[in-house]
Amino acid sequence: MIKKIKVGLDFDGAIAYNPFRIIRAPVTYVKRSIFGARKLNFYYPKNNFQKLLWKIIHESSIFPAKGIDVLRDLVAKELIEAHLITARYSFLNNQLYTWLGKNRLTGVFKTININEKDEQPHLFKEKMVNKHKLAIFIEDNLDIVKHLHGRSKTKIYWIYNIVDRHYPHPYKFPYLERALEKIMKQV
């Protein structure tokens, strides 16, 4: 029997494609290049209004990424063991489960790891990557990729965007399907 490859997947930006990303990218670029904002602290919505706004923005992560069929297939063939690791804040839980159900993805994941305590995303993900002893973790956020890369044996597969695409990283892919294809070459 072949040993299944343990693969962790981020949700927003890896499994779900958010059309706002393309709008947000230039904003990130301006923040970084003009204001030099590069610190690894993530924004947390403080009051109910901000939470509502955040929900609306995340509600737009509605499109399944190109590659979820391949993901389902690889799990069905028992080639990989998939773990969902999302640092979205806990008040978004219901939306997450609804979305996974709608897209026939709930049963695909061996574990679904949610940032219940609203920890800083990079620290939460680091913890989960180690907990599940993942061979590969697929993530879209470059700051998180940089934080995780080289910190353990886990290979960090980066789903890049148009702004950051020139950043050198050993494992970079335009979308999920390409990352999964690379994993399959190792089987």
Number of Cβ within 10 Å of residue 104's Cβ equals 12
Minimum CB distance to Mg ion smaller for 4 or for 143: 143
How many residues belong to the site for Mg ion (CB under 5 A)? Answer: 5
Answer yes or no whether residue 10 interacts with Mg ion by CB under 5 A.
yes
Select the residue interacting with Mg ion from 9, 12, 17, 156 (CB under 5 A): 12
CB of 182 to Mg ion, least distance (A): 19
Answer yes or no whether residue 8 interacts with Mg ion by CB under 5 A.
no
Minimum CB distance to Mg ion smaller for 13 or for 67: 13
Answer yes or no whether residue 121 interacts with Mg ion by CB under 5 A.
no
Select the residue interacting with Mg ion from 6, 7, 8, 13 (CB under 5 A): 13
Answer yes or no whether residue 164 interacts with Mg ion by CB under 5 A.
no
Answer yes or no whether residue 81 interacts with Mg ion by CB under 5 A.
no
CA atoms within 13 A on the CB side of 156: 23
Strands (E), 15-68: 16-17, 63-64
CB of 187 to Mg ion, least distance (A): 25
Burial class (CB in 10 A: 0-12, 13-18, 19+), 2: exposed
Q: Which residue is nearest to Mg ion (CB)?
A: 13
Select the residue interacting with Mg ion from 64, 140, 176, 183 (CB under 5 A): 140
CB of 2 to Mg ion, least distance (A): 29
Residue-wise over 22-58: b if at least 16 C-beta within 10 A, else e?
eeeeeebeeeeeeeeeeeeeeeeeeeeeeeeebeeeb
Rounded CA-CA distance 60/19 in Å is 7
Closest CA to 108 of 70, 133, 66, 76: 76
Residues lying near Mg ion in the complex (CB under 5 A): 10, 12-13, 140-141
